[in-house]
Structures are given as C-alpha cells and as structure tokens.
Amino acid sequence: MSQKYTTRAEDYSKWYNELVNRADLAEHSDVRGCMVIKPYGYAIWEKMKDILDKKFKETGHSNAYFPLFIPKSYLSKEAKHVEGFAKECAVVTHYRLMNDEDGNVVVDPSAKLEEELIVRPTSETIIWNSYKNWIHSYRDLPILINQWANVVRWEMRTRLFLRTAEFLWQEGHTAHATKQEAIEEAEQMLHVYADFAEQYMAMPVVKGVKSPSERFAGAEETYCIEALMQDGKALQAGTSHFLGQNFAKAFDVKFADKEGSLEHVWATSWGVSTRLMGALIMTHSDDEGLVLPPTLAPIQVAIVPIYKGEEQLNAISARVATLTSTLRAKGISVKYDDDDNRRPGWKFAEYETKGVPVRVAIGQRDMENNKAEVARRDTKEKSSVDWDGIADYIEQLLGDIQSNLYNKARAYRSEHITEVNSYEEFKEALSTKGGFISAHWDGTEATEDKIKEETKATIRCIPLDRKEEMGQCIITGKPSQGRVLFAKAY
C-alpha cells in the first residue's frame, strides 16, 4: 500500500472519488451516468435499508411496488411536476430490436410505442393514478405505502452516490382525509429521517423547510434534513413533502367523508436515496480511508493473527474462536482473517481503508501475556487489552466510537454555523470557513437568486427550531422574522 492518495486538504473532490474507489464501494459503469454498487458498498446500503425499513413499518407503513414506466401524459397532469422532471428523463420509444440486412442489431421501426414511456424519475403520478381506484370513502384512508426502487434522472455531470442518472431509493406515498393528518405525516417522516441520520449515520442534521423556490415540484411544503460535509458544503440528506391536494386534483382522487360529501385527498411523499452513502463517506472519513459508524459497518471487528508457522496460527485460532463466538452472541459482526496469502500489514491497511471500526491483532507475545492489541479506526488509538473481558471491552468501544463520531461531526458543524448581519460578513464567512451561514432574508426569490448568482450559496432550509427574531435582510434591508441557513451545497 505504498501508493500515495490525495488528502482532503489537497483536493476534497479528488479525495472522495479515490476513496469510493479504493474502499471498493462503487464505480462508474460504461453506461453514461450509471454506477455499479460493489458488494462492500451495497452491504452498507443494505444496512441502511434494513434500519429504515423497520422504522417505516413501526410507523405503520407497508411496502408495495409500482411500475418502472410512466406514460408521458401522466407526467403532464401536475403542471409544476412536469416542469421539474420532464427535462431530464429516459424515454422509451420502442419495444423491439431486429437484425438489419447486414445482420446488425437495430431498433425495429415498426415497434414504435403509441405513447412514449418515461423511466420513473419519481412515482407520484403513476401511484396517484392507482390510488384513484383504491380510494372511495374515508374508510379507505389513510394509505401508508413505501416503495424501494430504482429511479432515473438524466444528469449531465455525475458523481458516484451523490449524483447519478440511475440511483436507488425509497419513496413513501401517503393519502389522507385531512390536511392536518397529511402535514403530521410529512413531519413524522422528517423526524424518522433525522433520527436515522443522527443515531445510525452519526451525522447531525438540521431539520427545516425549503424556501418556495427549492420545493419539490408539486409540493406545498418541502421538509428537509441538511447535513454538513467536512469541506464546509451542505448536503440535503432527505426530504419529506406535504403535497396538499395537488396530485389528488391532477388525478381526480376524491373520497366520501363521513357526511357523504366528496373531497379531494391530501398527500405526502418522502424519500432518501443512495446519496446517503455519499453523505456518510464525507461526514466521517479521513485521509487514510473510510470511517464507518459501527451501526452501519458490515464488519465491525476484524481480528488479525500474527504468527510464524502453522503451530502458532493454530494456537491463536483456537483462542480467537471463543472471542468471535462471544462477540457474535452479542450481535457484533466479526471477521477473523487468517488468510495466509496476505501479510498482517496488508490486512491492517485494508481494514483501515474500508473503515472497519475495531481491529484486533494477536501475536505470540500477546498469547503469552494473555493480551491482544485493539485499535480503533476513528482515533487510530491502540491499546493492549487483557484477554479476559476483551469482548466487553470491544462492545463498549463500539459504542464509544459511535458517540465519538457523532460528537466530532456535531462539534465541526457547531463551529461552522456562522451568524452574520451583513452581506459583507456573509461573503467573508462563506469564503473563509464555509459551512452554514445564518442570516436574515426578506423572503423573496429575487434575493435568493442574487445571492446564488453572486456566491453560489443557496438557502438550505428555514430551520424548524429557529428563534423568532426580527431583523433585516442582508441584501435588501427589508424586515425578516428570523434567520435562514445558507450554504454552498452538493
């Protein structure tokens, strides 16, 4: 592992790309904009998926599956929605290939679809077209459905996990009898996402709502969680939308209420995607490689024997066997790496690159002293630990690493929320330390646009817990009722 990798300080973007590659998480495919998620990367995504899925079910949701294809005309039914999504989509126009005269495989011109199909960029339209037939009376409500699926949004500039033409995600789509219930659902799912981000990803997030110009196409209100990456750029990690009656009106979905009168149904949708992988990587990792919070690490503990000859190896293996079974009984995932073809130094480097939270090394001297060397990935500290009680030590250490990662990320974020009271201060803070800039804003799109154009910073969110504080917009001086968070963002 003598190869020199780019550090975060040298080039954050290059560091990220190299890391995704060397930690064996994903790679670009030959298909423009589409990624291959490799087994190690997918194993982390699976852990995220399992935890989120459990949380969705605990909050009363069921999974279902809707078609990959959306007839072109459906996208057009909700006016803002088509504006937002039609510009970047994969269009299926034919349904057959054939051999031409020269034996080449070509599209069969006679197999042209009457109406083009769009590969779903999001599923509101196809789902509300189904809900129309499912909903008749208030007894059919609420509908609380989630879908795990792939979606496609044609992107010109792509980055692994952060922005790809095809990505994996979940999309919740719920239908409610009242506005209030739909708003509560959208807020509930925002909290589910925030809890997941903080408790499992060890990634602190700000909960807020988007400014009107940053709302989802077709939403009345977009709730979001915003995280801060180590380069001072923000990343939108999840969104939950209160859709009002927009899709119900577009697809004519009404229900008879208890009094028998027909009303349009209220809706939400909410989603997180493989983009979370990018957020996870950029929140914790360092110049040596990936750093994973224990709750999401496919391998939590790697044990490496250091030996000469088969006899020593056998003795170590016998001792380690009891540790691995004790750890597994505690629900801790362990890999005992006795591969004879790779030297310990190579193994250490590999587990470091792959972000395995705890590494245990045990050699002849450790055997004699009834000890082992335990190294934690986050701080790189090593300790010589008594073999008796080592399982409890490791269990506790995993918990410590989880909190340490969260606390460290939270401290970084706290240092990178800057309150400013003038545009000069705003630009100064943005260019020197980056991060979130908390400033007064007059509530207009014109001001947002001006700031974006001049500084590339956008309003990430209006925090849910912001103080009521009268102030003046840093651009126009007009009155403002509270600060919003600006940042450059992924």
Cβ-based nearer residue to a copy of itself, 1 or 43: 43
Q: Is 444 exposed, middle or buried (0-12, 13-18, 19+ CB in 10 A)?
A: middle
Q: Are 174 and 158 in contact (CB under 8 A)?
A: no
Token pair in block for residue 377: 């990935």
Q: In the complex with a copy of itself, which residue's Cβ is closer, 70 or 209?
A: 70
Extract the tokens encoding 482. 């509270």
Classify burial at 277, counting beta carbons within 10 Å of its beta carbon; exposed 0-12, middle 13-18, buried 19 or more: buried
Q: At how many degrees (to 10) do helices 445-455 and 423-432 cross?
A: 40
CB 229 within 8 A of CB 240: no
Q: Which two tokens stand for residue 215?
A: 């709302």
Output the smallest distance, CB 75 to a copy of itself, in A: 7
Minimum Å distance from CB 93 to a copy of itself? 5
| Residue among 292 and 374 whose Cβ is closer to a copy of itself | 292
- Closest CB to a copy of itself among residues 84, 232: 84
Q: Taking the complex as a whole, how short is the minimal distance between the CB of residue 90 and a copy of itself, in angstroms?
A: 5
Measured from the CB atom, the residue of 150 and 404 that comes closer to a copy of itself is 150
**Phi, psi (degrees; rounded to nearest 5) at 112:** -95, 135
Distance between CA 224 and CA 238 in Å, rounded?
A: 6
- Residue with structure tokens 């979905």? 253
What is the SS3 assignment for 182? helix
* CB distance 290 to 19 below 8 Å: yes
Please state, as a whole number, how many other Cβ atoms lie within 10 Å of the Cβ of residue 404. 16
Residue nearer to a copy of itself on the CB measure, 129 or 418: 129
Distance (Å, rounded) from C-alpha 275 to C-alpha 45? 10
Is the distance from CB of 486 to CB of 439 less than 8 angstroms? yes
**What is the closest distance, in whole angstroms, from the C-beta atom of residue 456 to a copy of itself in the complex?**
25
Give the sign of the dihedral formed by CA 291, CA 296, CA 299, CA 303.
positive
Shortest approach of a copy of itself to residue 218 CB, angstroms? 15
Question: How far apart are CB 119 and a copy of itself at their closest, in Å?
Answer: 7
Nearer residue to a copy of itself within complex by CB, 344 or 482 = 344
Left if phi > 0, otherwise alpha if psi is -120 to 50, otherwise beta: which for 78? beta
| Shortest distance, position 140 Cβ to a copy of itself, whole Å | 12
In angstroms, give the least distance from the CB of 31 to a copy of itself. Answer: 5
Per the listing, tokens 């410590």 go with 400
Structure tokens at 113: 């679809």
Residue 92 or 446 having the CB closest to a copy of itself: 92
Give the Cα separation of 486 and 426 in Å (integer). Answer: 9
Per DSSP, 328 falls in state: H
Q: How far is the CB of 489 from a copy of itself (least distance, A)?
A: 24
Nearest distance, CB of residue 154 and a copy of itself, angstroms: 4
Shorter beta-carbon distance to a copy of itself: residue 81 or 460: 81
Between 97 and 446, whose beta carbon lies closer to a copy of itself?
97
Interface ranges with a copy of itself (CB under 8 A): 27, 29-31, 34-39, 42-43, 46, 62-73, 75-76, 82, 86-98, 104-105, 107, 116-119, 126, 129-130, 133, 139, 145, 149-150, 152, 154, 166, 168, 341
